Amino acid sequence: MSETTTSEPAGDIVLYGADWCPDCRRSKRFLSEQRVPFTYVDLEATPEATAEVERRNDGKRIIPTIVFADGSHVAEPSNAELADALGLPREAVADTYDVIIVGGGPTGLTTAIYTARENLRTLVVDRSALGGQAGVTERLDNYPGFPDGVGGAELADRMVAQAKRYGVELLQAVDTESVSADDGRVTVTLSTGQRLRAGAVLIATGSTYRRTGAAGEDDLIGAGVHFCATCDGPFYAGSDEVLVVGGGNSGLEEGLFLTQFADHVTVVEYSDDLAGSRLLQDKVRAHPKMSVRTATEVTAFTADDGGRFAAARLRDRATGEEVDQAAAGAFVFVGLDPNSGWLADVVDTDERGFITTDRTFETSLPGVFAAGDVRAGSTKQLASAVGEGAAAALQMRHHLDAMASISA
């Protein structure tokens, strides 16, 4: 987490906003995902800071207003505008590449390292921040080679540095709008308007946190309902109670992490038993600041008068009894959905939307490959995601060699 919340601006970047402001929450998340340190000044808690916002915006009270170290500022920026202000690369240098990788998480970065080492001109495009979900995970304890664990941000930064060492070109905060294939080449269209060509393309877009579907959830996302404890957990320092919805590995790991901030964490699981590993279950059940409610459904998230999360309505699945569990915040970890919707009717997927491939990781669209969490049959584990990235790189090399021999 790279945010400081204070009434006194400190550091290079200052974000003036309010907790009720959706664009402020979006900008805060974008900076956190990019691992950019910043200070957040809440105008509701620090009304005297309003004068600074108005001074910078010709007397208008516009939030978010983000001030940079050089004194410049942006008001109500889109993610693309904020990326440009941060100097993040968003335009590809060339029109043609050997390999284009869509997705800059551990799978995509691993593939890029391998293909670049093969002297293949490689471009990585990510809609958000490089490092993927691993980059915003507090600590990874099961990644080989780190007996004491490794911070997710540290591991992501190391992968990015290694990719750059081999000359990989990296674009951030850029959406990939479409992929098509013809004449043995693949065309990739970006949200910046660029149309790029490649001999092979890898889809490594990963997956996204699933929502519970409970009433009020959508309205309270970022206003007390969250999906990333690493990003938002520090907001709850000193809170009496925080809820974690989901008793799988992610929910239990993030619940343990949240005990650093909240006085108590309750894990709510729909099934009769927790689904996480036995080791994590034992840690959670033995932790003095944690408790578990199984066979319990979250039916609604309710708000206070200020529009922030106040409580979760919990229904005992055995008795039908409902109670309102007050808490400062709720963190939802109930599974993942593949980031493949933009490829609908382009490549084959399974019934859940995960991309199907053959044993070489090639999809139904020639020259387009898929690996990592977006691929059907993947294990959704970091070590295997990295392994798939390496394996896909080798298969893409074979594909390019085969295409070259045909055209020779």
Q: What is the pLDDT of residues 37-87, one digit of tens each?
A: 899 999 988 889 999 999 999 999 999 999 999 999 999 999 999 999 999
Confidence of residue 1 (pLDDT cuts 50, 70, 90): very low
Strands (E), 185-304: 185-190, 195-203, 207-209, 225-226, 242-245, 265-268, 290-293, 296-303
pLDDT at 7: 41
Same CATH topology for 3-86 and 96-208+336-407: the answer is no
Could you tell me the two tokens for 158? Answer: 């190391």
How far apart are the C-alpha atoms of 288 and 285, rounded to whole Å?
8
How far apart are the C-alpha atoms of 121 and 400, rounded to whole Å?
12
CATH class, 217-332 region: alpha beta
Closest C-alpha among 321, 337, 297, 319 to residue 215: 297
Helix axes 152-165, 106-117, angle to 10 degrees: 20
Average pLDDT on 370-397 reads: 95
For residue 6, pLDDT over 70 is answered with no
How far apart are the C-alpha atoms of 384 and 391, rounded to whole Å?
10
For residue 227, pLDDT over 80 is answered with yes
Closest C-alpha among 206, 221, 273 to residue 28: 221
Q: Which CATH number among 3.40.50.720, 3.40.30.10, 2.30.42.10, 3.20.110.20 corresponds to the domain 3-86?
A: 3.40.30.10
CA distances from residue 160 to 148, 172, 248 in whole angstroms, order as listed: 22, 12, 29
pLDDT tens for each residue of 136-163 = 776 777 789 999 888 888 999 999 999 9
Q: CA torsion, points 158, 162, 164, 169, in degrees to nearest 10?
A: -90
CA end-to-end distance (rounded Å), the chain: 52
Confidence of residue 407 (pLDDT cuts 50, 70, 90): confident
Task: Assess contact for 237 and 259: CB atoms under 8 A.
Answer: no
Instruction: Kindly list the strands in the beta sheet with 296-303, ordered across the sheet, starting from the edge strand earlier in the chain.
Output: 296-303, 309-316, 322-326
Question: Structurally, what CATH architecture does the domain formed by 96-208+336-407 represent?
Answer: 3-Layer(bba) Sandwich (3.50)
Q: CA torsion, points 304, 307, 311, 316, in degrees to nearest 10?
A: 120
What amino acid is encoded at 42 in this protein? D
Task: Assess contact for 135 and 156: CB atoms under 8 A.
Answer: yes
For residue 250, pLDDT over 70 is answered with yes
Residue 321's Cβ-count burial label (10 Å; 0-12, 13-18, 19+) is: exposed
How far apart are the C-alpha atoms of 99 and 198, rounded to whole Å?
6
pLDDT at 231: 66
For residue 265, pLDDT over 70 is answered with yes
- Looking at the DSSP bridge assignments, the partners of residue 73 are 67
pLDDT tens for each residue of 159-191 = 999 999 999 999 999 999 999 999 889 999 999
Domain boundaries, the chain: 3-86, 96-208+336-407, 217-332
How far apart are the C-alpha atoms of 26 and 77, rounded to whole Å?
10
Instruction: Give the pTM.
Output: 0.78
